Amino acid sequence: MAGVTDSDDDTDLLGRGQSPAPRYSRRLSDKILIAFHHACDQGDYEIAEQLLRILETMLTRRTVPPDANRRKSIESLVAAHERLWHLRHPEKQYG
C-alpha cells in the first residue's frame, strides 16, 4: 500500500484488537554477535572487543525468567572471544 507506514499498520491493527506482527526476528544479543563478526571481518578489532564487552554484560546479568538459550549464548560468547584472540595473535596459532 502506497503511503502507509509501519506505524500506520500497527495502529490500524491495534485499533481492531489485534497485535501487530513482531518488528524484529532476532534477539538483540544475536545482532550484537553479528556486528562483532562483521567488525572482525573488517579488521576493526577494537570495535569487536567493545561489542564483546556489551554482549558479555547482557549475557551475565540475571534475567527473570531465565533465558532458555543461555548455555548456547555463553558458548557463542566464548567462541567469539577465541576468534578475536586468534585474529590478534596469528603467530601463536601454528607454533
pTM above 0.85, yes or no: no
Q: What CA–CA distance (Å, rounded) separates 15 from 35? A: 36
Q: What CA–CA distance (Å, rounded) separates 35 from 48? A: 8
List, for residues 65-86, the tens digit of each pLDDT value: 777 788 888 999 999 999 999 9
Cα–Cα–Cα angle for 82, 94, 73, rounded to 5 degrees: 15
For 54, other C-beta atoms within 10 Å of its C-beta total: 14
Q: What CA–CA distance (Å, rounded) separates 41 from 21? A: 33
Q: What CA–CA distance (Å, rounded) separates 84 from 95? A: 18
List, for residues 18-68, the tens digit of each pLDDT value: 666 667 788 899 999 999 999 999 999 999 999 999 999 998 887 767 777
